[in-house]
Structure 1
């Protein structure tokens, strides 16, 4: 390790490639947000809610605020804006009527697929050229990279 960071090598090249992909994803998210009159935080909120749905996690305003790093006022503003745009629904939790659960509206899912579908399909096509071991290595790397990034305060 030099004073300016890791020595150049294949690991650093992969970090730079990951950054390049991340920047492109960010640009697409910003384009989607602008096209649909949203803030970038709105898109992040929708992604969090979609991930929660896939994981079977109950998404409440408090949970969403924690995911986004927002205070309650900021979280309420995002939720209100997304609901007003028709991208989010609020429903009472059938197990605890005091709680309100958040979910992405089906129309927003369709809107997202119309925009991001071709990008996702291209990435899936790339991964289909990988064998099981290569796919497992990519998954292991991305999970570990995510843990490394989120471990930094």
Structure 2
């Protein structure tokens, strides 16, 4: 049985390996890491059924409005993201991964998905349920600690209010 330290090391090793894997995709596509993260967040929103907006993307990535606009401009210019008007409220913009981005991602990541599938065949449904709970708890813990370390996107002034 793995102890606490062994689990932390394994999670760290997985993070390093997945970062290296994603970096190769970024190099091939000539994309910044922030752009890759933005594309992942936009794609995850699609699977979650909730449209992604520029404001929500800025919050998710802890970026300013201008930095988010720069990321979206690059992703749109490269054909990876489309900005479309919401069918429910034409004043709102929704972000969608383009067919090109989905195809490129599928071509690059399917071999990893297949390797994961083969590696995970040794686990039954009950094992996978425990693993999912473990990963979810680890993600939640990371988010909680990161949130405490990250300044809010719009820090309040520490100077006294003039009266």
Normalising by structure 2, report the TM-score. Answer: 0.86
Aligned counterpart, 1:134: 127
User: 1:17, CA displacement in angstroms?
Assistant: 0.7
Q: Distance in 1 between matches of 2:68 and 2:122?
A: 41
User: 1:57, CA displacement in angstroms?
Assistant: 1.2
> Are residues 1:96 and 2:89 paired?
yes
Normalising by structure 1, report the TM-score. Answer: 0.91
Q: Which runs of 5+ in 1 are unaligned?
A: 1-8
Aligned counterpart, 1:61: 54
Q: Distance in 2 between matches of 1:136 and 1:12?
A: 22
User: What is the CA RMSD across the aligned residues, in angstroms?
Assistant: 1.0
Structure 1's consecutive aligned runs of 4 or more residues displaced over 3 angstroms after TM superposition are none
Q: Distance in 1 between matches of 2:125 and 2:9?
A: 25
> Are residues 1:106 and 2:87 paired?
no
When the two structures are aligned, how many residues end up with a matched partner? 145
User: 1:65, CA displacement in angstroms?
Assistant: 0.6
> Are residues 1:122 and 2:77 paired?
no
> Are residues 1:80 and 2:86 paired?
no
Q: Choose between structure 1 and 2 for higher RCO, CA contacts under 8 A separated by at least 6 residues.
A: 2
SS at match of 1:96: coil
